[in-house]
Structure 1
Amino acid sequence: MKVKVLSRNPDNYLRETKRDIHKVPRNYDPTLHPFEAPREYIRALNATKLERVFAKPFIGSLDGHRDGVNCLAKHPHQLSTLVSGSYDGEVKVWDLTRRECISSIQAHDGFVQGLCAVPDGSSFLTCGTDKTVKQWSINEEGRINPEPVVTLLGKTVFQQIDHSLGHNSFATCGEQVDIWEVDRAEPVRSFTWGVDTVHAIKFNPIETHILAGCAVDRSILLYDMRGSAPLRKVILKLKSNALAWNPMEAFIFTVANEDYNLYTFDMRKLSMPLNIHKDHISAVLDVDYSPTGKEFVSGSFDKTLRIFPYDKGHSREVYHTKRMQRVSVVKWSLDNKYLLSGSMEMNIRVWKARASEKLGILKPREKSAFSYSEKLKEKFASHPQVRRIARHRHVPKMIYNGQKELRQIKTSQKRKEANVRAHSRPGTVPFVPEGKTKVIAEKE
């Protein structure tokens, strides 16, 4: 005799947390839900409001330096290890999880101008105003050997240092750009192009033989280690202070400029920037890309950090505190979750990359709720109410008044140009893209 038995898995009809609550089956036929769009709009509005309520980006600070923080370096393999250098020549290694200093050394007599980690994580390099480059070994616990492994003497003051990710060589800049190898006392190659000082240098993380630098004559220089001369040069209206390569697109880089803006260039066409990123009200001092290449963070003389999408002209986030002075260096952590900033009041601060993100382990239902809210905010992002709440930021009075003044200047310039065009012969005052007005010359 055959007996037919119904068998049901409890997971199919019971909730995962409270096992006495039954799941309710839903029919997703749109004709049965005529108020779906208004309901989702209200949910998107509430999700946007809650995002602003829970936006608390500041995590903590690292105190211990006795002078302004000038440079930071991320450990290539350990997310919790950070190396910092200050204006008094001191280098410290920090444990970010415990927010405390692991070890400290007096590395240079004078400023620590540059700092970078060797790709294998076994050591890091420093350069200073005492015309020396030093290599320091560091163990897995973050302890620094008090004696340098290698000391290289230069003829002039070094301004910055960076290590190639694909080669056993590093570059320094100053009166000229030098390519070094650790086991040689003299530079392997030197580049000059009629420039007094190159004050920033960065290797391309993908095309590891390409590097770019910023010089005091307002130029941006491109070099190839395999060649004997610099590749290209583009001159802007004002000096660029720092440079960062996009880690996902080998030919894209962004420079932080003295004219309050950041410029994203394609190295294949330097006659005009791809994008102009505005919002700062003072000189931009440093820039660093996220590991995904979709965003970058900038630090400015106006005492704020800003996060920009790489393809947008305005920032999506601004961070500031009452005590923070001008931000001299910024870094984006390798896990894409945190930002690090060093400023002139001897402090290193840790921030969340997404201000309202919940830290720690998320349960499956929390993950699905957050992803649902994100999709709703994305769907209704262009709605006036949602957009107004999402864009609004409280900023210090100085920033607010500075932005207002810059807007008035820009409006006045546009009005003047429109008046000149209206009272001139047609075609004599052409429309020129703003990007073309920023580049003075391009040389090869």
Structure 2
Amino acid sequence: MEIKRLYPNLNCYDSLEVDVDVDFFFYFLADIRLWDLASRRTVCQFPGHQGAVRGLTVSTDGRVLVSCGTDSTVRLWNVPVSSIVESADTFDNSAKPLAVYVWKNAFWAVDHQWDGDHFATAGAQVDIWDHNRSQPVNSFEWGKDTAISIRFNPGEPNILATSASDRSITIYDLRLSSPARKIIMRTKTNSIAWNPMEPMNFTAANEDCNCYSYDARKLNEARCVHKDHVSAVMDIDYSPTGREFVSGSYDRTVRIFQYNGGHSREVYHTKRMQRVFCVKFSCDASYVISGSDDTNLRLWKAKASEQLGVLLPRERKKHEYLEAVKNRYKHLPEVKRIVRHRHLPKAIYKAASLRRIMSEAERKKEERRRAHSAPGSIPKESLRKRRIIEEVE
């Protein structure tokens, strides 16, 4: 569960991680810090890395934190329990690593196995580590390009997916001695997220401004293409419910998509927020955390209009009634426009209009070329297949 930074000369957050207690989250640049969401203060610091920290992940029980970075080290940390964190007066603000593993290459990402003792790192190759061993128990390599993101499957602990700088998405099985399958796309994939409720499906954040949802059993065609961003999508993360995911983009916006929706249902932006490099859903699916290029962390509501806090029975019934009315009349044009309309910054609005004009011009050009060619010489190809160059097994 990593967040990476692709531009090392920029001053922004490298990673962001939400703890299982929901009340705390991590971020790091050269150090790792544990923050309290309610008080917005640092309750613990994990120093030790000599360079930029590229990856961060937490074990399923929330007790062990694994970090890796450009100093070619993997460090294991003991995460304090919430009862200790609450008593900040007696808590030591600095922690020492449980173990330090030194390796021969820098790391770009790390992810922990679900309900297991293994974790995987991405770099010059994919390495599988055990908590009790100082060297990898297994290594995978397919080509010579750098793996930039890695995610374990939440349903099948032995399956993991990676994206690499050669525009490939690769599926690995720890029970096999070699990688299982790979697809090569036309543009690079920056991050991958598995659907926790449908573990056979994952969504890839791509450089071509779109997100692509795939079925791991059929990689020759995307299940859904999620549009609306106007610049490269840098990171992605699924809600624990599996019904939505959040994406952060180079266009300085954060968007929330339905798992099967082609367009976003919500877009978040502020005047001072710069390019978004990392996003995370909280474990209760109520909040979204984003880290941007302006060195700030921002906390958003997953549902912008939702009332927080304790609701009285009358208030809850009123909200349910209003939601039912919107669903009842959502087919009417007036209601549909109110539900779908979102204000956008002028730059993003103009960029979206320009992308629509370019897409329409490309479609008309292809239709004219097909009309003036021999029948069948230029086959029609959907967008779900067009971005895939080949599938390798």
TM-score (norm 1): 0.83
Q: Distance in 2 between matches of 1:272 and 1:264?
A: 9
The alpha-carbon deviation at position 98 of structure 1 amounts to 1.3
Unaligned 5+ residue runs, structure 1? 1-65
Provide the residue aligned with 2:7 in structure 1: none
Identify the residue that residue 309 of structure 2 maps to in structure 1: 360
Match 2:22 to one of 79, 84, 92: 79
Which residue pairs with 2:371 in the alignment? 422
Q: 1:231 aligns with which of 174, 180, 186?
A: 180
Deviations, residues 30-62 of structure 1 (Å, cap 9, x unaligned):
xxxxxxxxxxxxxxxxxxxxxxxxxxxxxxxxx
Matching residue within 376, 388, 405 for 2:354: 405
Correspondence 1:110 to 2:59: no
Counterpart of 1:300?
A: 249
Paired residue type of 2:307: K
In the alignment, the residues of structure 1 paired with residue 228 and residue 136 of structure 2 have an alpha-carbon distance, to the nearest angstrom, of 40
Q: CA deviation at 1:414?
A: 1.0
Does the CA contact (< 8 Å) of 2:46 and 2:96 recur in 1? Answer: no
Task: Write the distance in 1 (CA, Å) between the matches of 2:306 and 2:48.
Answer: 38
Q: CA deviation at 1:428?
A: 2.8
CA deviation after TM superposition for structure 1 residue 319, in Å:
0.3
* Mapping for residues 17-166 of structure 1, pairs under 5 Å: 67-76=11-20, 78-86=21-29, 89-140=30-81, 141-142=84-85, 146-166=95-115
Structure 1 letter corresponding to 2:23: S
* Equivalent residue, structure 1, for 2:278: 329
In 1, distance between residues paired with 2:382 and 2:46? 51
Instruction: Please tell me the residue identity of whatever aligns with 1:314.
Output: H
Structure number with higher relative contact order (C-alpha < 8 Å, ≥ 6 residues apart): 1
Q: Which amino acid aligns with 1:131?
A: S
User: Which amino acid is the alignment partner of residue 250 of structure 1?
Assistant: P
CA contact (8 A) 2:118 2:129 kept: yes
Q: Give how far 1:67 is off.
A: 4.5
Q: Shift of the alpha carbon at 1:431?
A: 2.1
CA offsets 1:373-414 (integer angstroms, 9 cap, x no match) = 111111211211111111111111110010011000001011
| Contact 1:138–1:145 (CA under 8 A) maintained in structure 2 | no
Root-mean-square deviation (Å): 1.3
Give the residue type in structure 2 aligned to 1:126. Answer: S
2:325 to 376, 379, 390: 376
In 2, the alpha carbon distance for the partners of 1:224 and 1:196 equals 19
Q: Distance in 2 between matches of 1:365 and 1:297?
A: 31
Q: Which amino acid aligns with 2:385?
A: K
* Aligned residues between the structures: 376
Percent of pairs with identical residues: 47
- 8 Å Cα contact 2:44/2:95 also seen in 1: no
| Structure 1 counterpart of 2:39, one-letter code | R
Give, in whole Å, the separation in 2 of the partners of 1:99 and 1:158.
30
Point out where structure 2 has 5 or more consecutive residues left out of the alignment. Answer: 1-9, 86-90
Q: Determine the C-alpha separation between the residues in 2 that align with 1:380 and 1:322.
A: 34
Where 1:159 maps in the other structure, the secondary structure is strand
Partner Cα separation in structure 1 for residue 378 and residue 109 of structure 2:
43
On the 8 A contact 2:214/2:224 being kept in 1, the answer is yes
Q: Verify the 8 A CA contact 1:195 1:216 in the aligned structure 2.
A: no
Q: Give secondary structure in 2 for the equivalent of 1:126.
A: strand
- CA shift, 1:251, in A, is 0.5
8 Å Cα contact 1:167-1:208 kept in structure 2 = yes
Contact 2:273 2:294 in 1 (8 A): yes
CA contact (8 A) 1:136 1:145 kept: no
- TM superposition shift of 1:81: 1.0
Q: Is the counterpart of residue 254 in structure 1 residue 198 in structure 2? A: no
How far apart are residue 250 of structure 1 and its match? 1.2
TM-score normalised by the chain length of structure 2: 0.93
Say if 1:261 and 1:284, in contact at 8 Å, map to a contact too.
yes
Amino acid at match of 1:106: P
Q: Distance in 1 between matches of 2:74 and 2:331?
A: 52
What is the CA–CA distance in structure 2 between the aligned matches of 1:366 and 1:351, rounded to whole Å? 22
Aligned-partner SS, 1:69: coil
Distance 1:73 1:269 in 2: 30
Relative to 1, partners in 2 of residues 1:107 and 1:323: Cα closer, same or farther, differing over 3 Å? farther
2:3 counterpart residue number:
none
